[in-house]
Each structure stands twice: as structure tokens, then as C-alpha cells.
């Protein structure tokens, strides 16, 4: 993927130079503003503690079909322990929802699920997904043009490194990487 990004960047630079020489500076600058940022890839497969949390953005529209929070820890013997919570319905009145998430259907509260040790196959799957984590160091260029304030932001941390899916934030996961991690957490949840 990084090679494709570099090729795309070289192509875009050539387009910009040709546009400059043809007097098309403004359209070339518009094209440059739409280019994806530089992608950084990091290997987080040797983490000791991974944590995930759905957090509020503007309002809070947490997705009850996804894992609400999760923690994977590497134990001294090399195994991995998985702890997570899901959102469950706790009452019909979203106005009476302290310590919960107000939703259209009422109040949702996080419910911790039992901790379990991952199988060696699941641990290998975790390591594979976390071995090549792609993220952007800078906000998406669209954030210079319009305000984007999502109702939920997904936060991920591997030991001391934190990434989110907030499009206007630095150190942000791309959509494909976010989807891969969501699918991983959902598969671990479904086997619990």
C-alpha cells in the first residue's frame, strides 16, 4: 500500500507541475488538497496492552452492535487475555441515563463480559491484524474546508501509542484499518 501511495504522490506532483506550466495553478492546488495524506505503517504486534473504547464526539451515538470497549493483555506466559463490554438496553427513557448512553430506543449501559484467554489461533489473528497498522499522521485535508464533528470517536491504544478514527485528528486510522480492527473485535466477542 505504501508503494501505491508513493506512486500516486509522484503522479500528482507531475500533474501539478504540468498544470503550473499550463497556467492551471488553482485547479492543481485544488487537486493537491484532495490527495490522501502520507500513510505510516507501524507494527503493534508485540504490544503488552491494547485498549479500545467508543468515546463521545458531538453528542454520543455509540453503536450497540459493536464492542463498546475492549482490552487485550499479553500475559507472562505469552497468552492473551480478552476483556470487553457491550451496550445493553437498561431503560426506555433516554433522559434518565446517567452513566449510560442516551439513544433513540432509550438508555444503553455498558455491560462487562467475562474475561477469557484467547486460543492460539485467535492470538495469531490479533498479532496479524496489529502487525501492519496503517494510519495518517495529519488530519484529512477536507477538514480545512468544512467542520466535521462525529457523534462517536473510536480510540485505540497499544501500550503508550494512541490512534483514533477521528478524520480531523492527527494519528488517525484509515477506514480500511478501522474496519479490520472492528471485525477482529467482533469475532473475539462472538466467540465469548
Most distant CA pair in the chain: distance in Å? 65
DSSP 112-168: E---EEPPHHHHHHHHHHHHSEEEESS--GGGGTS----SEEEEEEETTEEEE--TT
Per-residue pLDDT, 11: 39
d(CA 185, CA 68) in angstroms, rounded, equals 10
159: alpha, beta or left? (left if phi > 0; alpha if psi -120 to 50): left
| Side-chain half-sphere exposure of 109, counting CA atoms within 13 A | 10
| Mean pLDDT of the region 142-163 | 94
Q: Which three cell numbers stand for residue 26?
A: 488553482
Does the pLDDT at position 151 exceed 80? Answer: yes
Q: Which three cell numbers stand for residue 23?
A: 497556467
How far is C-alpha 180 from the geometric centre of its chain's CA atoms? 9
Q: Please give the residue that has the higher pLDDT: either 7 or 152.
A: 152
Per-residue pLDDT, 36: 54
d(CA 38, CA 55) in angstroms, rounded, equals 26
Does the pLDDT at position 153 exceed 90? Answer: yes
DSSP 39-90: EEEE--TT-SEEEEEEEEBSB----TTS-SEEEEEE-TTS-EEEEEEEEEEE
Give the pLDDT band of residue 59 (cuts 50, 70, 90): confident
Q: Please give the residue that has the higher pLDDT: either 162 or 61.
A: 162
Give the pLDDT band of residue 26 (cuts 50, 70, 90): very low
The DSSP bridge pattern shows strands 152-158 and 161-164 to be antiparallel
Query: Locate cell 490522501: which residue?
Result: 36
CB–CB of 33/141 below 8 Å? yes
Digit-coded pLDDT (tens) for 83-134:
999 999 999 988 888 888 888 888 999 999 999 999 999 999 999 999 999 9
Digit-coded pLDDT (tens) for 62-72:
888 899 999 99
Per-residue pLDDT, 16: 38
Beta pairing partners, 86 = 111
How many residues does the structure list for the chain?
192
Global pTM? Answer: 0.78
Q: Please give the residue that has the higher pLDDT: either 24 or 187.
A: 187
Per-residue pLDDT, 61: 85
Amino acid at each position: 500500500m505504501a508503494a501505491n501511495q508513493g506512486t500516486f504522490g509522484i503522479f500528482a506532483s507531475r500533474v501539478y507541475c504540468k498544470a503550473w506550466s499550463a497556467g492551471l495553478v488553482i485547479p492543481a492546488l485544488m487537486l493537491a488538497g484532495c490527495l490522501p495524506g502520507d500513510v505510516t505503517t507501524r507494527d503493534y504486534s508485540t504490544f503488552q496492552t491494547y485498549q479500545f473504547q467508543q468515546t463521545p464526539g458531538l453528542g454520543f451515538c455509540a453503536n450497540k452492535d459493536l464492542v463498546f470497549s475492549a482490552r487485550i493483555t499479553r500475559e507472562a506466559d505469552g497468552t492473551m487475555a480478552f476483556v470487553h463490554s457491550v451496550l445493553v438496553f437498561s431503560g426506555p427513557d433516554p433522559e434518565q441515563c446517567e452513566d449510560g448512553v442516551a439513544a433513540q430506543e432509550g438508555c444503553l449501559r455498558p455491560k462487562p463480559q467475562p474475561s477469557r484467554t484467547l486460543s492460539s489461533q485467535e492470538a495469531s489473528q490479533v498479532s496479524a491484524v496489529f502487525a501492519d497498522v496503517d494510519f495518517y499522521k495529519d488530519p484529512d485535508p477536507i477538514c480545512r474546508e468544512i467542520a466535521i464533528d462525529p457523534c462517536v470517536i473510536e480510540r485505540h491504544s497499544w501500550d503508550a501509542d494512541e490512534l483514533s478514527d477521528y478524520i480531523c485528528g492527527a494519528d488517525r486510522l484509515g477506514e480500511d484499518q478501522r474496519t479490520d480492527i472492528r471485525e477482529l473485535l467482533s469475532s473475539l466477542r462472538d466467540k465469548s
